[in-house]
Amino acid sequence: MIYADYNGSAPLCPDVREHVIKRMQDGPFANPNAIHHLGSKVLMAMENSRSVCAKVLGADFKQVIFNSGATEGITQAFFSILHKNTKKKIIISGIEHSAVVNCAKYYMLDHGHEMVVLKTKEDGIIDLDDLKDHLDDDTAMVAVMAANNETGIIQPYKEIAELCNNEDVPFLCDTTQFIGKTLFDFKHSGVDYAVMSGHKIGAMTGTGILLAKDPTTVKELVIGGGQENGKRGGTQNYLGYETLAVALHYFETHLDRLENLNTKRLEFESKIKEKFPEVVIVGENSPRLSSTTYIALPGVHGQAVQIELESKGIYVTTSSACSDNEPVTSKVLKAMNVSDDVGRGVVRISLGLCSDPEFYTEMTTSLISIYEKLSKIKSY
């Protein structure tokens, strides 16, 4: 079996699996807010994990707020920025995850904010000049992701941060697909708020981090008993948070695997295009994550390719998991002006640090065979 949907959700990385098994066997288990010895041990392990996460992510200890994942972090960042904010303009890009889009729509429809969607160029990069034109005294916030979950295309997030900082506009950067797949230094990014989900990097599902440049600006969504320095109430998922540290440490100590993965990915793409010159690799000439290929053979339906690959034990998606059941061109590709004959044919192949780079060899043979078969009976 080849699992190639890491952008959707990654399996537990080996070190995380070992850590969880050991902790389940040895403990301790206790409320980290209790003052007895076992509670103190659990709290110490959780705070040590926060230190590891802060180090790997280039953040200060107090800037790391543990939560359930990126969607919660995005929601809390929106709330923190827009609560009682007299400024009305929210600027997002046309390639944002639905967690960002739906937050912006909520504040637009229920609180009278204005939502501006930035132009995306055909290379998948947002138009910085368009951003400059829209930044003004009424801009409440900007939300643009660091790397797209479908295409793997990396956005100029540092340049965006600089533009926002110069105008004193808070910048929320969705780094969910970025962290754990390439280096990220929060302090040097200029970003005000960044988010991540554990299940994207091989940690436990239901864990994540909100990074806040100034933690005092973060307003709690869950009031509770003052956990997470008053920023997120409720007993902490301490074992889950420990796995975040383990997974991020694994990433930091296995960076060479990203280079190997990138080399094999480029070879894979080259061989497919050599066999089928009409194949489209979305964002081929743009900066991309080393782990993602978004590929289509015009006229061949992506879901048909997905089904054929699965019959060979290779698991991919047709776009993001949120739209996998919809046989239409995704909003991300529409923002890039990708035609429907390509948009309906894409499959997303995404691996991770724990993947064997040699998987690309088997996927090359399989995809060529499938394209040869399906191109004779084109779907549309």
pLDDT at position 171 is 99
Please indicate whether residue 187 or residue 380 has the higher confidence score (pLDDT). 187
Note whether 279 and 295 are within 8 A (CB). yes
Averaged pLDDT, 305-334: 82
Residue 238 token pair: 């301490």
| Token pair 């194949």: residue | 279
Q: Is pLDDT above 50 for 321?
A: no
Radius of gyration of the chain (CA): 21
Burial class of residue 136, CB neighbours in 10 A (0-12, 13-18, 19+): exposed
Instruction: Give pLDDT tens digits for 256-291.
Output: 999 999 999 999 999 999 999 999 999 999 999 999
Instruction: Give pLDDT tens digits for 341-363.
Output: 999 999 999 999 989 999 999 99
Query: Percent of the chain beyond pLDDT 90?
Result: 95
Query: What are the two backbone dihedrals, phi and then psi, of residue 285, each rounded to the nearest 5 degrees?
Result: -100, 10
Note whether 185 and 319 are within 8 A (CB). no
Mean pLDDT of the chain, nearest integer = 95
pLDDT at position 99 is 98
Instruction: Give just the sign of the alpha carbon dihedral 210, 215, 216, 217.
Output: negative
Q: Is pLDDT above 70 for 307?
A: yes
Averaged pLDDT, 10-20: 97
Averaged pLDDT, 315-328: 66
pLDDT at position 376 is 85
Lowest model confidence (mean pLDDT) among 79-88, 327-336, 360-369: 327-336
Host H or E run for residue 306:
helix 302-311
Averaged pLDDT, 159-172: 98
pLDDT at position 323 is 46
CA distance 137 to 360: 49
Instruction: Give pLDDT tens digits for 16-56.
Output: 999 999 999 999 999 999 999 999 999 999 999 999 999 99
- Closest of 351, 331, 355 to residue 343, by C-alpha: 331
CA distance 103 to 174: 13
Report the alpha-carbon angle 322-157-294, nearest 5: 40
pLDDT at position 324 is 45
Q: For residue 356, what is the DSSP state? A: -
Q: Is pLDDT above 80 for 325?
A: no
- Closest of 92, 61, 321, 359 to residue 197, by C-alpha: 321
CA distance 141 to 93: 12
- Which domains, and CATH codes, for the chain? 2-9+255-377 (3.90.1150.10), 14-252 (3.40.640.10)
pLDDT at position 377 is 81
CA distance 191 to 211: 9
Averaged pLDDT, 124-147: 98
pLDDT band (50, 70, 90) for residue 328? confident
pLDDT at position 128 is 98
Contacts of 316 (CB under 8 A, 6+ apart): 4, 5, 305, 306, 309, 310, 347, 348, 349, 350
Host H or E run for residue 177:
none
CA distance 190 to 160: 9
pLDDT at position 252 is 96
Q: How many CA atoms lie within 13 A of 326 on its CB side?
A: 10
SS3 299: coil
pLDDT at position 379 is 59
CA distance 64 to 213: 9
CA-CA distances (angstroms) from residue 297 to 129, 278, 326?
33, 7, 18
Note whether 65 and 77 are within 8 A (CB). no
Q: Is pLDDT above 90 for 242?
A: yes
pLDDT at position 326 is 52
SS3 per-residue string spanning 29-60: CCCCCCCCHHHHHHHHHHHHHHHHHHHHHCCC
